[in-house]
Amino acid sequence: MNLDGANVVVVGMARSGVAAVELLREKGACVRAVDQKPVTIPGIEVLPQTAEAFAGAELIVLSPGVPADVEVVSQARSRGVRVIGDLELASWFFEGEIIGITGSNGKTTTTALTGHILGASAQVGGNIGTPPCSMVANSRAGQWNVLELSSFQLETSETFRAHIGACLNVTPDHLDRHYTLANYADKKARLFTNQRANDFAVLNAEDAICRAFAHRGAGTPVWFSSAQTVAPGACIDGGNVLLNGEVLMPVAEIPLRGMHNVENVMAAAVIARLAGVAHAKIRDCVKTFPGVEHRLEFVREIDGVQWYNDSKATNVDATLKAIDAFEGGLWIILGGKDKNSDYTTLAAPLKQKAHAALLVGAAAAKIANQLNGSIPLEQCGTIEGAVRLAFKRARRGDTVLLAPACASFDQFQSYEHRGREFKHLVKDLPWRN
């Protein structure tokens, strides 16, 4: 793609937007950077997000955090201006094959594990760590580019194609932006639209929406399942994970907690095998995988009480999976910025496994209303307040779990910021005498 001299507007100056500006400049484009808030970035003049900033644009590149239907962008699109996202831009210049991993939950763990297995033959980024546009310079022929992909990145893709695409699951999330589950699922499906006959679609056989993605492109479906036999692909039989009909490893040897993480391991194993990695290396890498920060991350044990950070549980389904990973005795911290979610499905498992829900943030009142007395509720306001109350009330054998079921942006900059604050608070707790 020749962008030399093209007038390009990049919208949104978080990490992905800055990376897009840098890549476009390298390719010779005349770039204007805009943001709806005043931003100071060394070496980049950032203009207000007004109609004037888009005058004369030949191409608009959206950062993932910018909705595709924002008014000034829709007006430009109606004038015939091409609108893409940073993922699409990066894909024009990548060397080597792409592995794309999406899903409502588990994609960060699966992406990190896939990169861990592939080792030096891969670079990892996308929605995790390095923005796609920053990965272009380090891409090379014969290398795998392993990308975690969100619905926000996929919704503005056009020609983007992954040689191996994987969707782990699709459950309601980001409905404040996508409005309906059908719209949200359609964004996930874009991962497979441009696949060719020699490409592969790795799909969860237990998820009806994922199963339907098998018909979205020409890629060959390869399955993983926690409940039925599949081949080719990965499944569970007699306490073992099978990969293409052969034993990969005992489920008990997987170091990550919860059946959802067993599914993540199976997906990563299928991807790695398609990328040419042998069973023995996959097994060894799974056993040495340290896990991912903020995903059911063990923080500390104090006087027999275990504390876990699952700040990445930013939707209800992720919180359900976190609850399922524990036998009971939970003090669960819920709340944050609501994403038009339905919290009623949390009531039954929490009634079975939790002593109480400690509510924080802007969504606390809605969560309390929807849980409707199914378990004791404590209005704590902040993470700090929840940690103090849990420390006072939890007893030996209990678990304190941060699994908020909400976004973090009411009180924190990101789920990482929220998780780090939780860990800092927990690590500062004293031992009881």
Separation between Cα atoms, residue 183 and residue 81, nearest integer Å: 23
**Are both 188 and 307 inside the same structural domain?**
no
313 membership: H or E segment, kind and range: none
Shared-domain flag, residues 337 and 280: no
Q: What is the pLDDT of residues 307-361, one digit of tens each?
A: 999 999 999 999 999 999 999 999 999 999 999 999 999 999 999 999 999 999 9
Range 85-100 average pLDDT = 98
Domain end residue (candidates: 287, 308, 343) = 287
Same domain, 151 and 113: yes
The model's pLDDT over 39-92, given as tens digits with 9 standing for 90+, comes to 889 999 999 999 999 999 999 999 998 998 889 999 999 999 999 999 999 999
226 occurs within a structural domain = yes
Angle at 371 between CA 367 and CA 372, to 5 degrees: 115
pLDDT in tens, 382-407: 999 999 999 999 999 999 999 999 99
* CATH code where residue 385 lies: 3.90.190.20
Burial per residue of 72-98, b for 16 or more beta-carbon CB atoms within 10 angstroms, e otherwise = bbeebeeeebebbbbbbbbbbbbebbb
SS3 78: helix
CB 154 within 8 A of CB 126: no
pLDDT at 415 over 80: yes
Residue range 280-309: average pLDDT? 95
Domain check: are 321 and 204 in the same one? no
Q: Is residue 432 part of a domain?
A: no
Of 297, 342, 314, residue with least CA distance to 407? 314
Catalytic one of 27, 105, 116, 127: 127
In this prediction, residues 259-280 reach a mean pLDDT of 97
Is 359 found in the same domain as 327? yes
Find out whether the peptide bond into 131 is cis, omega within 30 degrees of 0: no
Q: Is residue 1 part of a domain?
A: no
pLDDT exceeds 60 at position 433 = no
Q: 103 and 52: one domain?
A: no
Residue 2: inside a domain:
no
Instruction: Say if residue 138 is in the same domain as residue 207.
Output: yes
Q: What is the CATH number of the domain that holds 68?
A: 3.40.50.720
In a shared domain, residues 249 and 165 = yes
Once rounded to an integer, what is the mean pLDDT over residues 280-300? 94
pLDDT in tens, 292-303: 899 999 999 999
Q: Distance between CA atoms of 378 and 229, rounded to whole angstroms?
A: 44
Residue 187 lies in a domain: yes
* pLDDT for res 231: 86
173 shares its domain with 57:
no
Report how far residue 402's alpha carbon sits from residue 294's, in angstroms, rounded to the nearest whole number.
9
CB atoms within 10 A of CB 357: 27
Mean pLDDT over residues 423-428, rounded?
97
Structural domain includes residue 410? yes
User: pLDDT over 90 for what percent of the chain?
Assistant: 91
For the chain, what is the mean pLDDT?
A: 95
pLDDT of 172: 76
Domain span at 37: 7-86
pLDDT category at 236 given cuts 50, 70, 90 is: very high
Q: What is the CATH number of the domain that holds 108?
A: 3.40.1190.10
Instruction: Assess whether 174 carries a catalytic annotation.
Output: yes
Per-residue pLDDT for 432 more than 70? Answer: no
Q: Tell me the percentage of the chain whose pLDDT exceeds 70.
A: 99
Under the banding of pLDDT at 50, 70 and 90, the label for residue 129 is confident
In a domain, 115, yes or no: yes
Query: Which of 27, 116, 163, 174 is labelled catalytic?
Result: 174
Residue in 27, 107, 321, 339 annotated catalytic: 107
* 134 lies in the same domain as 251: yes
Decide if 54 is inside a domain.
yes
Q: By the 8 A CB rule, do 98 and 136 touch?
A: no
Give the C-alpha separation, 164 to 166, whole Å.
7
Domain end residue (candidates: 53, 86, 119): 86
Q: How many CB atoms lie within 10 A of CB 137?
A: 12
In terms of domains, do 31 and 144 share one?
no
Of the candidates 25, 53, 86, which is a domain's last residue? 86
Q: Which of 28-37, 177-186, 388-397 has the lowest mean pLDDT?
A: 177-186
Q: Read off the DSSP letter of residue 41.
A: B
Tell me, yes or no, if 198 is annotated catalytic: no
pLDDT digit string (tens) for 194-231?
Answer: 999 999 999 999 999 999 999 999 999 999 999 999 98
Q: Are residues 183 and 111 in the same domain?
A: yes
The verdict on whether 279 is a catalytic residue reads: no
Residue range 348-387, pLDDT digits in tens: 999 999 999 999 999 999 999 999 889 999 999 999 999 9
Q: Report residue 62 as tokens.
A: 């959206």
Contacts for 388 with CB less than 8 Å, ≥ 6 apart: 380
Count of domains observed in the chain: 3
Query: Closest Cα partner for 31 from 39, 42, 20?
Result: 20
